[in-house]
Amino acid sequence: MKAPIIEIFSSFQGEGVLIGQRQIFVRFAGCNLNCAYCDTKNSISDKEGIMMTPQEVVERIESILTPDCHTLSFTGGEPSLYPEFINEVSKLTNLDIMLETNGTLPVNIDSIDKLDIVSLDIKLKEHFKGDFKEDIFLNEIKSLNLLIEKSINVYCKVVILPRLKIESFEEVIKKIDKEIIDKNNLHFIIQPSSPLNEWENLSTCLFEYSEIVGKYFEVSTIPQIHKILNIE
């Protein structure tokens, strides 16, 4: 068994609830979406990267593992395209497993045996240059609900863009609130797109978005810290 790997590296988690924690990242090539704000365009095609076996991946992980690192993050691209490969790697390491996913492949996500924490991106129509397909949102809800049912620690991340309309954003949050089976422990991360200097009145916008999410869910607003620190 092999999968296309763009890179394996150690860094600080720059997004979400584990921000600032040292992790090892395994970045897969291949994605089923093409978001306008994607900052890893080289990982969209599954023709990129190097074909590696689970054992080769683990050997690389072990070669860069440091005492301050306790989590292995599968990212991409879209890592849930490779559930069986993730399962094989997970069997060969004692690290906690994190999945950074767009959540649009619930069957694949359900097939991953070990997940300690999941960062699930909520996609908005403004994230795409073409038409927004409704099944993207429906599958994200399915993934959220199955992870909640399994008592897996999951949080939602939503990237906001300067062109995002506040009314459109609130409509999506209301839909999630309606469709989710248990929202009591669901945390939302609002992430303004980088670079931050592209924004006008950013601080005002962030307060407005936070207030909307706060009507329904626990919410934090966190920019991409790794971009600020100028690290990968």
The CATH class of 3-229 is alpha beta
Write down the residue that tokens 């994230």 correspond to: 127
What pLDDT sits at residue 127?
A: 84
What average pLDDT does the structure give for the chain?
A: 92
Ordered by start, the domain boundaries in the chain are: 3-229
Q: How confident is the model at residue 131 (pLDDT cuts 50, 70, 90)?
A: low
How is residue 161 written in tokens? 């863009």
CA distance 58 to 213: 39
133-177 pLDDT per residue, tens:
779 999 999 999 999 999 999 999 999 988 888 898 999 999 999
Backbone angles phi, psi at 43, to 5 degrees: -100, 5
pLDDT tens digit string along 45-101?
888 999 999 999 999 999 999 999 999 999 999 999 999 999 999 999 999 999 999
CA distance 99 to 138: 19
- Alpha helices (H) along the chain: 54-64, 83-91, 106-110, 134-149, 166-179, 202-214, 225-229
pTM score of the predicted model: 0.93
CB 123, CB 138: distance < 8 Å: no
